[in-house]
A and B are shown apart, each in its own frame.
Chain A
Amino acid sequence: MRALCWLGEDGLAVRRVPDPELRNSTDAIVRVRRSSTCGEDLPLFAGRGPVLSVGDVLGHEFLGDVVEVGPGVRRHRVGDRVVVCASVACGNCWYCRQGHYASCDNGSAGPAVARWGQPTAGRFGHPPAAGGFAGSHAEYVRVPYADVGAFAVPEPVDDDRAVFASDAVPTGWLAAELGEVGPGDVVAVWGAGAVGQMAARAALLRGADRVVVIDRYPERLRSAERHVGAETLDHRAVDVPAELWELTGGRGPDVCVEAAGPTGDDAEPPSLAERFAAATRPGTAPERPIAVREAVHACRKSGRVVVLGTFTGFVDAFPLGAVVDKGLTLRAGRQHGQRWIPMLLERMARGEIPTGHLATHRLPLDQGAHGYDLFRDRADGCLRAVFTP
């Protein structure tokens, strides 16, 4: 089959790779209809986090048709159109039974000693050596624990909308859950990408009084206003904390959501630690949690700060003192889509969660490398490039 592979210094390219096969009784094989780029992929290319091997297939946010099932699969049949949660969880361990699927004990097939000492859910499009599974930017994907992680898509939700139920929509929902967003809350979201927009939408659906999305790309801010119904702040044009305090009566937002990731901001000078790392250990600079810092500073006392961004290691200059003095609750995590996707698909079918606008660039898989260029550079107003094999 054809698949978009990481080729090391040669970048990305579509190559022919072996078709996936059933390897466990609860596997299914899915023929991919749509597969989306995601910000989580970019650190992999940059060599941060789990190390890719040349030839690894990328992509984790997808939907498709079931073409083969193992003897242990009960809920799916050949021909089902399914969206597949981006993470792999068993559904049977203690964490899964609590609904914390992202912390699944049995979802990774990697080494017995995981990166942070404890295994977490597996992930499509991540290195097999790190517990991940082959990615979805391909014609076919093997889906472990198919009864747990694959969900039939209701007819009203077309492919271009449904694909985001795999990751972006449940990740946004996670933010509202972790932030315990409720009626009357003012919520600020850093990042107007797909996840930030879905976090804003989830907050509104849970009854937030006002939701403000912050970004530095005007087209993304317009998208958040138009499709999600959020207010917006242009990070380049205003003093964000001052604006947030003003519009919250000097309190600060009740809930602050970071959905920007460790993106650099040229306007912020490097910290002492960053300069030291650059001078002494090139390539080991800590990640820059610029939006997290701002969220901590802006949040009201006793408020909640939720971190969604793809941080892979250590960060520098984290204002822990502010967290303590202000009595903040800091929460973070990966989404538990296995818990929420059916509910989210119903909401999408009712039009409560718009996602069609996120697929700004629909491309054939053969143009996958170009799609990632657009996505990485935010070029041409790209929110997400979505591939069709």
Chain B
Amino acid sequence: MARMGRSTWGGRALARTAGVLAAGAVAGATAARALPVPRWAERPRAARDARPDRWQVVTVDRPPEWVLPGGRWPEPLRRLGGAVEVALRPAPGGRGTELAARPAGTPLPGMAAHVVGDDPGPLLRQALRQVKQLAETGEVLRADPSPLDGPQPSHGPAVPG
């Protein structure tokens, strides 16, 4: 896969992708469909941040072809299927790939809607974070069990002494 240069994408644009991407399409064909998506710097914060359809973005310290191996969506985004829109572009300064996702315009199917709720932002952020961890470290870091997860250690026996 050819590396996506900044000039190919007109500097500010992200390539919109959906479903499975052909390797060549990432580099070439999608350039023609490049859309001027999020102009983050021009948006004031506060109220507009609450939009449920806003882009969630993460920078993955790997080249685009690593983030979308074979032009396919990485897990766990792949599991979200057509429910989300995915975009990517090279990060400046050799910092890898900016990977963005937001809910697709179509309503989510039943169970997906139940899982996502009114605000899909947290689910998307979690998914993007997992993509990033998988690409950079090979696995998703698991938390230690919290004392709130199960039997309360504090309710366990006091240690004599």
Contact = CB atoms under 8 A, between A and B. Distances in A.
Interface of A: 2-3, 5, 7, 13-18, 20, 23-26, 53-57, 72, 90, 92-94, 97, 105-113, 119, 122, 127-129, 133-134, 142, 144-145, 366
A26 B133 CA distance: 13
A15 B159 contact: yes
**For chain B, what secondary structure do more than half of its interface residues adopt (helix, strand, loop), or is it mixed?**
loop
B137 A20 contact: no
B95 A5 contact: no
B120 to A, nearest CB: 12
B129 interface: yes
A190 B59 CA distance: 38
In this complex, which of A112, A122, A134 has the most chain B Cβ atoms within 10 angstroms of its Cβ? A112
A366 B61 contact: no
A94 B96 contact: yes
In this complex, which of A7, A25, A134, A366 has the most chain B Cβ atoms within 10 angstroms of its Cβ? A134
B38 to A, nearest CB: 17
B136 A106 contact: yes
In this complex, which of B126, B137, B138 has the most chain A Cβ atoms within 10 angstroms of its Cβ? B137
Nearest to B142: A23
A73 to B, nearest CB: 13
Contacts of A142: 144
A18 B145 contact: yes
B60 to A, nearest CB: 9
B145 A16 contact: no
B144 A16 contact: no
B139 interface: yes
B146 A54 contact: no
B148 interface: yes
A85 to B, nearest CB: 16
B129 A92 contact: no
Contacts of B128: 112
A54 B122 contact: no
A140 to B, nearest CB: 12
Contacts of A23: 142-144
Interface stretch (B12-20, B76-84, B109-117, B150-158): B150-158
B47 interface: no
Contacts of A16: 153, 156-157, 159
B125 interface: yes
Interface of B: 59, 61, 95-96, 122, 125-126, 128-129, 132-133, 136-139, 141-148, 152-154, 156-159, 161
A129 B126 CA distance: 14
Contacts, number: 107
Contact of B125 (A25, A112, A366): A112
Given A112-B129, A366-B161, A17 B144 contact: no
Contacts of A133: 143-144
B101 to A, nearest CB: 12
A2 to B, nearest CB: 5
B134 to A, nearest CB: 10
22 contacts: A3-B153, A14-B159, A17-B147, A20-B144, A24-B141, A53-B146, A53-B148, A54-B152, A54-B154, A57-B153, A72-B138, A94-B61, A97-B61, A106-B132, A108-B141, A112-B122, A112-B128, A128-B143, A129-B148, A142-B144, A366-B159, A366-B161
A304 B138 CA distance: 40
In this complex, which of B133, B147, B148 has the most chain A Cβ atoms within 10 angstroms of its Cβ? B147
Contact of A92 (B61, B125, B154): B61
Given A25-B139, A92-B61, A92-B137, A134 B156 contact: no
A24 B139 contact: yes
Nearest to B159: A14
B145 A128 contact: yes
Given A20-B144, A94-B61, A106-B132, A2 B159 contact: yes
